[in-house]
Chain A
Amino acid sequence: MTAVTATTTKVRPTRRRRLSPGRVVAWAAMAAIVLITLLPFYWILRTALSSNTALAAHPSDPLPVDLTTGGFERALGLQSTEEAIAQGGSGGGLKFWRYLINSVIVSTLITVCQIFFSAMAAYAFARLRWRGRDKVFALFLAGLMVPTIFTLLPNFVLIKELGLVDNLLGIALPTMFMTPFAVFFLRQFFMNVPREVEEAALLDGAGKIRIFFRVMLPMASTPILTLGVLTYITAWNDYFWPLMVSYSDSSRVLTVALAIFRAQTPQTGYDWSGLMAATLIAALPMLLLFGFFARRIVGTISFTGIK
């Protein structure tokens, strides 16, 4: 569960401070943190560009050894089975493009629908007046307390009864309509939109529906973007639920495919080069997505629900 909101962070004017021993230690700690954070990314790239035989001979060489794109070719299924086995792969296919498209479909479906429907509900809770509003909202909040994992087994039974097992819609469906968090999160923002703005629109003759689309959604665009990117990342990275629901290539998403690729260990040991190439390809879309929006998101991640 996440709790992030978008508010503008104050940028404090930077002042020149004296370089004390304490600050040197603090900067050293910061450098160590950055190193531990980023080193695995470099090591993925370094391994993916090496050949398996060279990796075994030079395990600690900081640069790629025996530079090759063989790992990427295996991950993308571009090599013939014989070629792959000769280079230390399992020869088991990875229909990368199929899985990529599946991941995109599932994540997009979840993100777009979940946020739109949650925003509608959030608006009803924040600005519409109707009988029982507080009680229904309290029920939604109680939903926050149920760990996702608890609903997975019964939801699987339900999806099976609906005949949606091994179907992309079956993967997306449970989180497509809302999450209590998204509703709660967006309600906060709609409540903070000044009433005057809404009343001005009402005076201009706009109806409540028009206000929702023309006033509320645009005014909450930054939090919606932040929530959207985080929802997309969560959906893209989910493994447990798609693992339960999908059985074949037709509905397999990248995370599940990757775990299967890892399990197809050749006799000679792991195909580390191919595996690292595959993880890099699987992670790249999220790195790009984040890189694209990072400026708006990181500067605005903040806390909600607490004073």
Chain B
Amino acid sequence: MTIASSSPPSRLPLGGAEGARTRPKTDRAKAREAGGDGRLAAVFLAPALLGFVVFLLWPTLRGIYLSFTRFNLLTPAEWVGLDNYVRMVNDPIFWDSLTVTVEYVVINIGVQTVAALAIAVLLQRLTQSAVLRGIVLTPYLMSNVVAGIVWLWMLDTQLGIGNEIIAAVGADRIPFLADETWAIPTIALINVWRHVGYTALLLFAGLQAIPNDMYEAAKVDGASEWRMFWRITMPLLRPVLAVVLIMTVIGSFQVFDTVAVTTAGGPANATNVLQYYIYGAAFGRFQFGYASAMSVALLVVLSAITFLQYRLTRAGQSDLG
């Protein structure tokens, strides 16, 4: 016979919307009445739990283990202690690629967040058109591969329409994806193009939760749209914005596809983002141990950033009454 868990309801890492909804007392009381559904729950949970353990929990632990080994896929992994990490710290290409990745994330997230916020506000304050919302989402339907190839063409130095326009106004053609300084900002902006609409819709959904009365009241008081944005929209959107920011930063650090199809890490390692370097180490040089160590480093960096962002932006608290 099963007895309902006596542990307090778990707290969500994000938000905490659940906490209020689960009422342990009534649940427990009802469970005693119903006698629990242990066996049925086991059946319902089995496939998901299997997937969770085999393809998420086990690989996570194994990834950490592999980072302490020398492993080339063909012979069994051999324990080497901290060797991979020592090598990583002394590997200038690793540090270069971490710098390039951070540069990418800063440009990508900076531009995307401002643009998504602007689009979301326009979609809320200017028009409620569902058609426009559908339109801004269309680039998200393309794969990164498609987006990369299309912009590779549009930004081609000789034949791309982008450079044709630049040449038409009399400026020098820019080798966007073939130049060491331009390549990373260009890739960052290509990915802004693909993701900004989706991000904007998430923010738009957050804006929908702000009562319209607030804007009406502010308008009666003679407040401008600009002032309403800073005094109403921004403070009340903050928790949503914080979570969206954490999500997009984590996604941004994992950039790979666009680099793979546009520059392949070049020119001269200028776009050798971390994930691309890790892929090369594993599948180009079969150093799975070293690749795993760099993955662990990325995981640590991401966890630290998530934690910091969560604290700094007070993502868990809402100012909306």
Contacts and interface: CB of A to CB of B under 8 A. Distances in A.
Interface of A: 1-4, 9-12, 14, 22-23, 26-27, 29-30, 33-34, 36-38, 40-41, 43-44, 47, 55-56, 59-60, 117-118, 120-121, 123-124, 128-151, 153-158, 160, 173-178, 180, 183, 191, 208-209, 212, 233, 236-240, 243-244, 255, 258-259, 262, 270, 272, 275-276, 279, 282-283, 286-287, 290, 294-295, 298-299, 301-307
3 nearest CB pairs, A to B: A177-B51, A237-B143, A121-B48
13 contacts: A9-B205, A26-B126, A43-B153, A124-B40, A130-B37, A139-B52, A145-B306, A150-B298, A237-B143, A262-B261, A276-B150, A279-B149, A305-B14
A145 B291 CA distance: 20
B318 A33 contact: no
Contact of B141 (A12, A287, A306): A287
Given A27-B126, A130-B38, A240-B256, A283 B143 contact: yes
B48 to A, nearest CB: 4
B175 interface: no
Contact of B153 (A12, A236, A276): A276
Contacts of A12: 128, 212
B55 A239 contact: no
Given A123-B44, A151-B56, A153-B292, A11 B128 contact: yes
B15 A306 contact: yes
B44 A120 contact: yes
Contacts, number: 325
B204 to A, nearest CB: 8
Nearest to A145: B13
A58 to B, nearest CB: 10
A117 B46 CA distance: 9
B266 interface: no
Indicate the size class of the contact surface on chain B. Answer: 35 or more
Q: Indicate the member of B57, B60, B143 with the most A CB atoms within 10 Å.
A: B143
B3 A60 contact: no
Given A60-B165, A121-B48, A177-B48, A131 B257 contact: no
Contacts of A240: 256-257, 275, 279
B5 interface: yes
Contacts of A141: 10, 12-13
